[in-house]
Structure 1
Amino acid sequence: MIPLIIDTDPGVDDAFALALALASPEVDLRAVTTVFGNVPLASTTDNALRLLELCGRPDVPVAAGADRPLVHPHPHRARYAHGSDGLSGRASTLPTPSRAPAEVDAVTLMTEVLTAAEQPVTIAAVGPLTNVALLLAAHPSVRSKIGRLVVMGGGLDVGNVTATSEFNIWSDPEAARRVLVEEDLPTVVVPLDLTLRCGVDLDWLAALDAASQVGSALVGLTADYQRYYQRMGWQGTVLHDAVAVAEAVSPGLLTSTSYPVDVDCTTGPARGALLADRRSALISTESGVDQRRRVDIALDADLDRVRAFVLDRLRAL
């Protein structure tokens, strides 16, 4: 079994990511922690509770985390893509939570889960990295309990908030730099460069809709999200966070390459950009860049296999 913590800001694609983890028999989902992001913290936390209820797992503890970035205010939410409540305005159609959030905060819950774990725990971070940065800063002793960190974030050749920056990293670049540059954990970053290529079409959504009540409910959350991608020329939707969780529950599903990385924390037009040095090893070494921390960046995959993997798991719910 893969012990797993999901740190998330639901979010339509986060909803599919959570459901995928719950549908994966090799996963032991130990906790869900929430963070500001697509919508404010109160909404992301309520959405997480409702999604666990939908999937029949209200027993998984949920703890609310950071409601703002480490340094600068969050400029805006992502209602333009995810709707007013983060779930296309349809959060209220999901079951009412039968449990309240944990009395402890997200960092405390993560620390408790990691401290108690008898084997390394995977953390799938599919929102801004504020909670993870705070965890590693305040509780450095738990680093040894983290087997792998899988992050949905960044875009090497494309952004979705600015020309260079992806939403999760851009939402708190200082936290992202702390986690991706200053720490030393086995890390896989799943960027827009790959997740956009893994987009699912209307037939894929129809197959999930017909599979079960849970599948139908998930597809029902995508209305605003689909309209956003239709404006970009895609008939269907893009499940960014589910692609990252697919790698968390099935290591090696995505093909990764190791690069030295940095995060732009300036206040200029490239703020929030994930910078990977893709030059030859010789040039990187001679320039001293190769001394920086390297992370694995997932830039390729068998796209049909990824889509089928997510669909087959979700249909089983």
Structure 2
Amino acid sequence: MGTKLIIDTDPGVDDAFAIALAAVSADVELLGVTTVFGNVPLASTTANARRLLQLCGRPDVPVAAGAARPLVHRNPHTAAFVHGADGLSGRSSTLPEATRPLESGDAVSLLVSLLEAADEPVTIAPIGPLTNIAALLAAHPGVREKIARIVIMGGGVERGNSTAAAEFNIWSDPEAARRVLAEDDVPCALVPLDITHRCAIDRDWLAKLAASGPLGATLEGLTADYTAYYSRVLGFDGMVMHDAVAVAEAISPGILRTEPYPVNVDCGAGPARGMTVVDRRRLSRDDPEASPGRTVEVAVDTDLGTLRQFVLDRLSGGPR
């Protein structure tokens, strides 16, 4: 069937592209979607995820709601000023109502049941704050062997966005991020801002998506607030599809080039809170100054044309 995948998400315009990318790919077995607070509050992220799956013709995919707040400290704000008050540029009402009921259990319960039922290891793609994933690993260590890898959109090597140092998903719950990235041993790939910004798409790309059919037109219609924000950031009429870049790597391992580095997360109260500290010194393990713990595969490069075309083809119903 292809990649067995679970997405943990906080839709969000770029999340919408990522969910659709997985939902319409014939080589993906999308087992479930779990939701978390983040770009907008949990009630909106959950409603958006369910409606997006309905748009993609995937009412078979279960959705469960997860954490409504971080593990320790409440985060100061959402990203509604980027994504719109409803998370989808004020256009969530253009999506069809979901026909499948929300799962009665929470996100961690669904993750456990899907992993335990899987006949082979599953890829998890967390593209929001890592609260649900940290809770899963803490409370259910026995599921680790059922996880092939965790492909995370988050962090920044050279930059932040919520602050000068921190990317939004990691900054939203640094304690959870540290648990997953630095304190556990499940294989992880980190897709940071540095690479997602390089994969930004322009108005011509979005016009091709809109012209591709009903799905593409609806997705493009969700981008107004998001592109208005990112056009100022980028300096051209376009947007950054952060989460779709990570899900592309989850679907097609190797579409991003990664390098192994120790990664830590600043959980202090100062200006670096939420910063991903990526140790690129390439010290040997026996060096007394080497960072302790395991390494994380950090995405550092890709063929930009190939990546953009991969996402466009999938969302447009093109080559699989």
TM-score (norm 2): 0.97
Match of 2:246 among 214, 231, 244: 244
| CA shift digits 1:213-242 (9 cap, x unpaired) | 010000000000000011221311110000
8 Å CA contact retained: 2:171, 2:274: yes
Match of 1:266 among 262, 268, 281: 268
Q: Does 1:36 align with 2:33?
A: no
Structure 2 counterparts to residues 1-317 of structure 1, below 5 A:
1-232=2-233, 233-282=235-284, 285-316=286-317
8 Å CA contact retained: 1:260, 1:289: no
The offset of 1:290, in angstroms, is 4.0
| CA shift digits 1:298-317 (9 cap, x unpaired) | 01000111000000010008
Aligned residues: 316
Amino acid at match of 2:25: S
| CA shift digits 1:242-282 (9 cap, x unpaired) | 00000000000000000011000001000000001111324
| CA shift digits 1:56-100 (9 cap, x unpaired) | 001100000000000001210001100000000000111011122
Partners of 2:189 and 2:236 in 1: CA distance = 27
Partners of 2:161 and 2:288 in 1: CA distance = 30
Q: Aligned to 1:182, what secondary structure does the other structure show?
A: coil
Partners of 2:80 and 2:232 in 1: CA distance = 15
8 Å CA contact retained: 1:285, 1:291: no
Partners of 1:209 and 1:291 in 2: CA distance = 48
Partners of 1:155 and 1:202 in 2: CA distance = 25
Partners of 1:86 and 1:313 in 2: CA distance = 23
Higher fraction of helix: 1
8 Å CA contact retained: 2:183, 2:293: no
TM-score (norm 1): 0.98
The offset of 1:288, in angstroms, is 3.9
Amino acid at match of 1:9: D
Q: Aligned to 2:262, what secondary structure does the other structure show?
A: strand
Amino acid at match of 1:199: A
| CA shift digits 1:169-206 (9 cap, x unpaired) | 00000000000001101111000000000000100000
**Percent identity between the aligned chains?**
62
Partners of 2:292 and 2:80 in 1: CA distance = 40
Contiguous gaps of at least 5 residues in structure 1? none
8 Å CA contact retained: 2:283, 2:290: no
8 Å CA contact retained: 2:189, 2:297: yes
Partners of 1:91 and 1:285 in 2: CA distance = 53
Amino acid at match of 2:3: I
Contiguous gaps of at least 5 residues in structure 2? none
8 Å CA contact retained: 1:10, 1:86: yes
